[in-house]
Structures are given as C-alpha cells and as structure tokens.
Amino acid sequence: MAKRGMLIVLSGPSGVGKGTVRKEIFSQEGNKFDYSISMTTREKRPGEVDGKDYYFVTKEEFENEIANGGMLEYAQYVDNYYGTPLKYVNEMLDSGKDVFLEIEVKGAMQVRKKCPDGLFIFLTPPDLMELRQRLINRGTDDIAKINKRMKTAVEEIEMMQNYDYAVVNDEVPRAAEKIKTIIRAERWRVKRFLPDYKKQLGDALK
C-alpha cells in the first residue's frame, strides 16, 4: 500500500488573496500535489468550467452530501454553500498523492479537527503593521473606525495560532514560492518521514 498523502490547507482572512496565490502556484509546473476542487451551489460565472473551477451543484444535491457525511468541510456565504467533497480528497490521499485545499478559515478549522496531521498554512495581509498609520495618514476614517479595523486585524492574527505556518502575502509570486518551500520542507518532518522510513527498514529486516 502506498504511503498516505499529505493534506495541505491554505487559508486566511477573506480578501487576503488566497485564490490568486493558489492560482499562481498551480500555474507553475512540477508541483507534486493536486488541487482539490470545491463544490458550490452558487451560479456559474462566465468562463467558469464545471469540474475545473468548482463542482456546480444544486442546493438539494449539496444538502444531500452534508446529510450523508460527504463533506470534509463546508460553509454558507450569502445564501450559497461552498465546501470540499470528502470522496475525492480521500481517494487522492489513499493513492499517496498530496492534496491542496484553498478554503475559508471556518472550513479550515473543521478540517483541522478531522485531519490534525494536515499541513495548515495561513496567508496573512502584509499591511497590518502599517495599517493604522496608513489609515491615520489617509484621514478619511475616524478613530473609532480605525480602532474597529485594528480589532479585526488582531482577531485575524489570533486565528493564526491554529496553523502551522504563516506567510505574508506582500507579493503574489513571493508568497507562492514561500508556500511551495514550506510544502517541500514539510515532507522531511520526522513525524511524516519516520513511519515510512521505519516501514522500509522493517522490510529490510525481514
């Protein structure tokens, strides 16, 4: 039996640019992991392809999947469901392939509970440190509004604690390269490397 693949989860606050970074990663050759396509009930937009951008399903089909325990994670945004079908992910992992998910933070926390051994990467905005100064300099927001934005920033950073790695999305190619470096390095973590290595040694001892 093949060594089970690694589940890679890229997440981060809404608007941080997860999709753009993910597309940058998958526009490059030589990745040793596959992208898990999400399922959604929202309307297909012009140019989108079923089974490539999303699996487009009806609300009833999605709710059936949920009822049958067929979703690894899901969430509702603006009356539509978004989620990751479990079947495809499991098939890939079982065949030894690493699987890459790009999902919202709520979904990521559902996955963390089910797959604690996954690799969780948090994409974080570059401007948190400069945010306040920029907001003040701009002079359009009052101090209450600035403080509210800073509070949201703090909450976002707190979420980071549930992840293994954090990458600042200052430039998309740079963030993509860092994420690929993390995925490479993570394969040599002893907890991932040792079981397989021991198994091979076990075979050698026979």
| Binding site listing for ATP | 12-19
Of 53 and 164, nearer to a second copy (C-beta) is 164
CB closer to a second copy out of 111 and 153: 153
Rounded Cα–Cα distance for residues 131 and 161 (Å): 21
User: For residues 39 and 183, which CB has a smaller minimum distance to a second copy in the complex?
Assistant: 183
CB of 115 to a second copy, least distance (A): 17
Output the CA–CA distances (angstroms, integers) from residue 108 to 3, 60, 100, in the order listed: 23, 24, 12
Q: For residue 112, count other CB atoms closer than 10 A to its CB.
A: 18
Query: Minimal distance in Å, beta carbon 75 to a second copy?
Result: 22
CA 109 remoteness from chain centre: 10
| Residues at the contact surface with a second copy, assessed by CB under 8 A | 122, 124, 128-133, 150, 153-154, 157, 160-161, 163-167, 178, 181-182, 184-186, 188-190, 193-194, 197-198, 200-201, 203-205
Please state, in angstroms and as integers, the Cα–Cα distance from residue 91 to each residue in 2, 96, 97, 153, following that order: 12, 9, 9, 37
Positions at the binding site: 12-19
- The minimum distance between CB 206 and a second copy, in angstroms, equals 9
Q: How far is the CB of 43 from a second copy (least distance, A)?
A: 36
Pairing of strands 39-40, 80-85: antiparallel
CB-nearer residue toward a second copy: 4 or 178: 178
Place of tokens 């979904």: 107
